[in-house]
Amino acid sequence: MRITMEEAADKLMGAKSLLITAHVNPDGDAIGSTLGLAAFLQARGKKAEVWIDDKLPKNLAFLPGYDKIVRPQAGQKTDAEILVILDTSLDRIGVVGDAAKGLPVLNIDHHVSNDEKADYLYNARRAATAEMIFEIVDHLGGGFPPEIAIPLYTGLATDTGFFKFSNTRPETMHAAARLLEAGVRPELVSESLEEKPESVVRGQAAALQTMELSYGGRVAGLYLDKDLATSLDTTEGFIDFVRVIEGVEIAVLVKCMDENFCRVSVRSKGLDVSKVAMKFGGGGHIRAAGFSVKKPLAEAKKDVLEALGEVLK
Ligand SMILES: [Mn+2]
């Protein structure tokens, strides 16, 4: 059942003990909104625990409350009265769903794709779930001490690419401004989020060495062989290094995890690359797609470039 912000606030205030969770593979908004809400409820004298069924990103360790997040074991049970799911539907919370079986579910989420299976769903077009929590906390009053303000600001900042993406509305900036007034230091948040181990920066440099332009500069690619690909902790964001090159219409990352197994990501600025993914048995959207090719790097690269050539026609 869909409910309003005021009704969601009532549900939160009506419980003495709450279990709060968010999606697996958690991001800044998932962690920021859960920690901000938990801190608010604790300040109101409630028992509020955060359980997330996954490893947490290290670059969020600066958030107050991060250390208290529980990664539940399979079979672990909660004694909370209500399960509060943030930033996702019920389908992406891992074992927390089993731990809270039988409990009423309050779902607060800004994704339009929400499956609406929760008992109570507050869903609204907002830049981040953190923006929805900001509104609830503001509605209920009590201000924004650091343990609430810093996580909520982080959720807003990460889901909007630091207020760059099209989901950044005037209301988003107003909420962020209120959090700055409450004392959030934006430079400390961004410095913490952007910090990387030396190995990651060296990995980026090595990956960039493989950059090649094709089709007169309309396609830019990074082609990582097994040695390089398996030495990297992450390749998140690598494709954006080449996507921004002037004149590039399609960016591609080919990453061979084995002699005969390459993962491929493709991003376009408008051309439909989902067709290419489909051809190789993968999937995705018009501007972003992924698939794998069971061939060595040189052959996988040739096949992928050939298929991209069709898209450029
Ligand atoms: Mn979000």
CATH number of the domain enclosing 57: 3.90.1640.10
Taking a C-beta distance cutoff of 8 angstroms, is the pair 179, 149 a contact? yes
Alpha helix ranges (H) inside the chain: 5-14, 28-43, 96-99, 129-140, 146-159, 170-181, 186-194, 198-208, 226-231, 238-243, 274-279, 297-312
Ligand 1 center–CA 271 separation, angstroms: 26
**Which of 176, 194, 212 lies at the terminal end of a domain, its last residue?**
194
Statement to judge: residues 17 and 133 lie in one domain: yes
The domain of 216 spans 199-312
Statement to judge: residues 252 and 168 lie in one domain: no
pLDDT at 311: 95
pLDDT at 287: 84
CATH number of the domain residue 224 falls in: 3.10.310.30
Question: In this predicted model, what pLDDT tens digit does every residue of 290-307 receive, in sequence order?
Answer: 899 999 999 999 999 999
Ligand 1 center–CA 274 separation, angstroms: 24
Q: Rounded CA gap, 310 and 298, in Å?
A: 19
Statement to judge: residues 204 and 189 lie in one domain: no
Statement to judge: residues 159 and 228 lie in one domain: no
Question: In this predicted model, what pLDDT tens digit does every residue of 120-177 receive, in sequence order?
Answer: 999 999 999 999 999 999 999 989 999 999 999 999 999 999 999 889 999 999 999 9
Q: Rounded CA gap, 42 and 12, in Å?
A: 11
Q: Rounded CA gap, 262 and 265, in Å?
A: 10
**Which of 164, 194, 224 lies at the terminal end of a domain, its last residue?**
194
Strand-strand pairing, 17-22 and 82-86: parallel
Ligand 1 center–CA 85 separation, angstroms: 12
Ligand 1 center–CA 284 separation, angstroms: 19
Statement to judge: residues 22 and 91 lie in one domain: yes
Statement to judge: residues 30 and 108 lie in one domain: yes
Pick from 113, 77, 80, 107: which is nearest to 95 by CA? 77
Ligand 1 center–CA 276 separation, angstroms: 29
Taking a C-beta distance cutoff of 8 angstroms, is the pair 196, 236 a contact? no
Taking a C-beta distance cutoff of 8 angstroms, is the pair 152, 145 a contact? no
Statement to judge: residues 203 and 90 lie in one domain: no
Taking a C-beta distance cutoff of 8 angstroms, is the pair 257, 226 a contact? yes
Statement to judge: residues 187 and 212 lie in one domain: no
Per the listing, tokens 């299976």 go with 117
Question: In this predicted model, what pLDDT tens digit does every residue of 190-237 receive, in sequence order?
Answer: 999 999 889 889 999 999 999 999 999 999 999 999 999 999 878 888
Q: Does pLDDT of 116 surpass 80?
A: yes
Statement to judge: residues 220 and 179 lie in one domain: no
pTM of the model: 0.83
Taking a C-beta distance cutoff of 8 angstroms, is the pair 287, 267 a contact? yes
Q: What is the DSSP letter of 305?
A: H
pLDDT at 283: 80
Average pLDDT, the chain: 95
Ligand 1 center–CA 263 separation, angstroms: 26
Ligand 1 center–CA 30 separation, angstroms: 6
Ligand 1 center–CA 309 separation, angstroms: 35
- What's the structural domain count of the chain? 2
Pick from 98, 92, 95, 117: which is nearest to 106 by CA? 117
Statement to judge: residues 55 and 203 lie in one domain: no
pLDDT at 112: 85
Structure tokens at 105: 């579910």
Q: Which residues surround ligand 1, an ion (CB under 5 A)?
A: 29, 87, 128-129, 159
Statement to judge: residues 36 and 77 lie in one domain: yes
Statement to judge: residues 151 and 207 lie in one domain: no
Count CB neighbours of 36 within 10 A: 31
**Which of 194, 227, 252 lies at the terminal end of a domain, its last residue?**
194
